[in-house]
Structure 1
Amino acid sequence: MSKSFLIDTSRCTACRGCQLACKEWHGLPANKTLQWGSHQNPPDLNPNNYKLVRFHDYMDETGTIRWNFFPDQCRHCEVPPCKEVGDVYIDNAIIKDEKTGAVLYTEKTMQFTPEQAEEVREACPYNIPRRNDQTGLMSKCTMCFGRITNGLPPSCVRACPTGTMNFGEREDMLKLAEERLALLKKKWPKASLGDPEDVSVIYLMTDTPDTYHEYAVAEAKPTSPMTKKQLFAKLASPIKAMKA
């Protein structure tokens, strides 16, 4: 069975150890940023940041100010829409390793025109892929493919000190997700899992997804007669039918 992450946001302290570990493992350069009114740094994902701890503060229905942390990364979709679009232009520029479930961007992505790369990005319900304007290479989380195929955990999981980041066999992570969800609902009735049937990176949230990040789940905005959520479901349905 393929691998999955469980990201338990109830345990996240925004230490950003996962974010730094990802950069160090992949040898990514630092970003030059400016203060923009948030502790979230850098402001968004970019070719030099495959993982980003997002900060969102809001007032709940009791008038209490809450601060939610969201360690954002590629969801490694069961049926990746980005690959479906990418294959229209360059076959296997984006690949999915069936053994691990990792969705990987290859150097072939440099052959996409800027317009094609933008279509690939727009196909993602989670707004993840980024393109290097100098090289044309598209990039995102790799699931630390070289590590997991050698029996090591992803670097972000290895670095996490609180138990927020979990990784293992998909069946085990889904079981852990349901157990943690049942426990958290006692304190946070709105707790939920983010698209667990469709992705390999499952988020456990203590409040509604919109209190974490605009793209926390595949709700998305209409781009055509079909929303991204509907497109996701359409792409996934033949695979689910085959598994049934």
Structure 2
Amino acid sequence: MPKSFLIDTSRCTACRGCQVACKEWNELPANKTTQSGWGSHQNPQDLNPFNYKLVRFSEHLDGEVIRWNFFPDQCRHCVSPPCKQVGDMTVENAIVQDKKTGAVIFTDKTRKYSASDFEDIRDACPYNIPRRNAETGLISKCTMCNERVLKGMLPACVKACPTGTMNFGERADMLKLAEERLATVKQSFPQAMLADPEDVNVIFLLIDEPKNYHDYAVAALTPVRPLDRKEFLAALGRPFKRIADRLA
């Protein structure tokens, strides 16, 4: 059975320890950061080739109360990853799924994808996760710290988390913990829910409606599944359509 994360947002304080640990473990270069101007401490402003994890800050008004929701965003390591299904149409096994852990990994072979191939792969992801380095062509994202996990270690983000937000282990154990935590959290937050527990290996416990986190958290309302025949053929036909458009 694969490994899974449980990310319990009810315990997240936005310390960004997970974000920093991810960056340090993967030896990713620094980003030039900017202030958004509306009071958020979220930095960088989005995922990028040098940030596989990003704690998103979302503020909204609940009646007369200002609510802050924190969302440690990352690849969900889908049980049936549509990014791999689309990627294999062009370069087979540039995207692989580890049989022992369930980790979905973008290999060095992703450099062989064109910019338009990348857009197809990114479009296939319900969570808008993959990012491409424009200089090298490499497509990258969270790897589940697969090399650590295979040696019996925790992912760097989980190891660094001081509040119990980040949890990791056997999928069955994480699903059980998720249900237990959900029952507890619902006593204080009746709208609490688990996002995509059947379809992904990164399960979020949300204390609010998905729309009150960030745009792609709403994907929690849509099951992740392999592309059906119509969707598969549509994805397969996109490269030919681009060629026809250029020749027109």
Name the TM-score, length of structure 1 as normaliser.
Answer: 0.90
Contact 1:79 1:235 in 2 (8 A): no
Match in the other structure for 1:180: 181
Q: Distance in 1 between matches of 2:99 and 2:59?
A: 38
Match in the other structure for 1:131: 132
Counterpart residue type for residue 91 of structure 1: E
Match in the other structure for 1:22: 22
Match in the other structure for 1:163: 164
Counterpart residue type for residue 44 of structure 1: D
Match in the other structure for 1:65: 66
Contact 1:4 1:170 in 2 (8 A): yes
Match in the other structure for 1:101: 102
Q: Distance in 2 between matches of 1:219 and 1:181?
A: 16
Greater CA radius of gyration, 1 or 2? 2
Query: What does 1:43-122 correspond to in 2, within 5 Å?
Result: 43-60=45-62, 62-122=63-123
Q: Secondary structure at the match of 1:142?
A: coil
Deviation at 1:235, TM superposition (A): 3.8
CA deviations 1:2-30 (Å, max 9, x no partner) are: 10000000000000000000000000011
Deviation at 1:90, TM superposition (A): 0.3
State, as a whole percentage, how many aligned pairs show the same letter: 66
Give the count of matched residue pairs. Answer: 226
Deviation at 1:233, TM superposition (A): 3.3
Deviation at 1:217, TM superposition (A): 4.3
Match in the other structure for 1:31: 31
Q: Distance in 2 between matches of 1:187 and 1:42?
A: 31
Deviation at 1:34, TM superposition (A): 1.8
Contact 1:194 1:217 in 2 (8 A): no
Match in the other structure for 2:147: 146
Deviation at 1:63, TM superposition (A): 2.1
4+ residue segments displaced more than 4 Å:
none
Q: Distance in 1 between matches of 2:53 and 2:123?
A: 18
Contact 2:131 2:141 in 1 (8 A): yes
Deviation at 1:176, TM superposition (A): 0.3
Counterpart residue type for residue 23 of structure 2: K
Contact 1:184 1:191 in 2 (8 A): yes
CA deviations 1:116-139 (Å, max 9, x no partner) are: 011101100000000000000000
Contact 1:19 1:52 in 2 (8 A): yes
Q: Secondary structure at the match of 1:115?
A: helix
Contact 1:125 1:217 in 2 (8 A): no
Deviation at 1:98, TM superposition (A): 1.8
CA deviations 1:137-178 (Å, max 9, x no partner) are: 000000001100000000000000000000000000000000
Name the TM-score, length of structure 2 as normaliser.
Answer: 0.88
Contact 2:182 2:205 in 1 (8 A): yes
Deviation at 1:36, TM superposition (A): 1.4
Match in the other structure for 2:225: 233
The gaps in structure 2 that reach 5 residues or longer are: 229-248
Contact 1:195 1:217 in 2 (8 A): no
CA deviations 1:24-45 (Å, max 9, x no partner) are: 0000011012211221000000
Q: Distance in 2 between matches of 1:206 and 1:117?
A: 33
Match in the other structure for 2:245: none
Q: Secondary structure at the match of 2:89?
A: helix
